[in-house]
Amino acid sequence: MYIALEGIDLVGKTTQIELLKSRFLNAVFTREPGGTSFGTQIREILLNGDKKLADMTEFLLFLADRSEHYEKVIKPALNWSKLIISDRSVFSGIAYGLESAKISRDFIINSNLAVIENKFPDLVVVFEISRADLLDRLKARSPDKIEQRGIEYALSIQKRLLSLPREFGVNMLIIDASSKENDIFRKIERAIIDRKIGV
């Protein structure tokens, strides 16, 4: 079973991943970008590199990471019937790609679906945060290259992440990112257990 946690930066995905690691000890935990050694190099270029990349270059780097990640991590784990819990998935790739006016929607969607062989997560947990809470969290850290694009950009990505799973008919759980950490954890834990019972 394949579970993806989605949401813009600072919504608490990483915190929940760490909590889930202590609960689902035999699960495969991974992330996009950066779930492979190749992906780690791409992640550094994308988030912390000092050069401004062309929109298509950035998109193709994310796509290359996703392709390598699917072939080396997701696909083998699915073949072994492992529980996979990933920080981000194809939906981030599509959402961020669609923010560029220079890349066609069809190319963004079709290329992403091709590299994952149309294998979507079984459940997407989407974290939703308010503008006010996001502003508060942004004050507490130095932004990476993506976060530097501003709050309107981030909220536009969030809107896409909340709609894309439905568009593709994928099961989705929406989480209020302002809730207490333990309450969020319990909701995700229950959703995973319920899915495992049902398969």
Residue by residue, pLDDT tens for the chain (199 residues) are 999 999 999 999 999 999 999 999 999 999 999 999 999 999 888 888 777 889 999 999 999 999 999 999 999 999 999 999 999 999 999 999 998 878 999 999 999 999 999 999 999 999 999 999 998 888 877 666 666 777 899 999 999 999 999 999 999 999 999 999 999 999 999 999 998 754 4
Q: At what angle do helices 131-138 and 151-167 cross, to 10 degrees?
A: 130
Residue found by looking up tokens 């995973």 in the block: 192
- CATH code, residues 2-197: 3.40.50.300
What confidence tens digit (pLDDT) does each residue in 97-109 have? Answer: 998 878 999 999 9
Q: Where are the domains of the chain?
A: 2-197
What confidence tens digit (pLDDT) does each residue in 58-93 have? Answer: 999 999 999 999 999 999 999 999 999 999 999 999
**Which of 107, 80, 93 is CA-nearest to residue 35?**
93
Q: How far apart are CA 70 and CA 138, in angstroms?
A: 31
**pLDDT for position 20:** 97
**pLDDT for position 101:** 76
**pLDDT for position 199:** 40
